[in-house]
Structure 1
Amino acid sequence: MNRQKALNMLGLAMRAGKLVTGEEMTIKEVKSQKAKLVLIAHDAGKNTQKKVKDKSSFYQVPCLDHFDSNELSQAIGKDRMVVGILDSGFAKRIEELILG
């Protein structure tokens, strides 16, 4: 139930313009401290996962890999493996829903 709510919230954040999508854009926002939460598909490539997780941990941005690329893509309406949430309200709520 909460998985679906988190994905719905992700869709809302997308429509509100509070997301960056794609590996490079997300890493850029992590570096500039604008990203509040990073979601990476657990079926993303090993190099992509390592790169995104390393950057996230270095800049102390939470990074979760609880969804697959299909779920993430469906939630935001684009084919993506990596999504960065720029709004702290959305980030906090999505993290609460995923982690319980």
Structure 2
Amino acid sequence: MTTNPKALSALGMAMRAGKLVTGDETVLKAVKQRKAALVLVAGDASDNTKKKYRDKCASYGVPLLEVFDRFTLGAAIGKEERVIVGVADYGFARMIRDHLGTHSEVEEY
């Protein structure tokens, strides 16, 4: 799986700006409270996790992208491996989507 340096850099900027939420329960809460502008799921997440977030995001109208792997997502935000990341800012969400928009490793649900 290829990486997109601009998208990863935008993720890092969002993290430093305090506009990311990570972790299963925290991201789920942000989706339910409509505070998530975008949810990113690692490509190597379990099928159960992917389905859970695909269904929940569809229900609440939050865009979901399946990108990278858990190690790449974690490294981009300066943390250990991460399977799920929520972007809580529409500007950062748009920037990340724009950078990922033309790359084949992205699957939007």
Same fold flag (TM > 0.5) = yes
Structure 1 unaligned segments of length 5 or more: list them: none
Q: TM-score, normalised by structure 2?
A: 0.87
2:11 maps to what in 1? Answer: 10
Which is richer in helix? 1
* Corresponding residue SS for 1:39: strand
Greater Cα offset, 83-92 or 71-80: 71-80
Structure 2 unaligned segments of length 5 or more: list them: 103-109
Distance 2:45 2:22 in 1: 14
Runs of 4 or more, structure 1, over 6 Å off, are none
Overall identity of the aligned pairs, in %: 52
CA RMSD of aligned residues (A): 1.4
Shift of 1:85: 0.2
Question: Deviation string for 1:19-55 (max 9, x for gaps)?
Answer: 0001111111001000000000010111111111111
Kept in 1, the 8 Å contact 2:3–2:68? The answer is: no
2:38 is aligned with 1:37: yes
Count of residues in correspondence between the two structures: 100
1:92 maps to what in 2? Answer: 94
Q: TM-score, normalised by structure 1?
A: 0.94
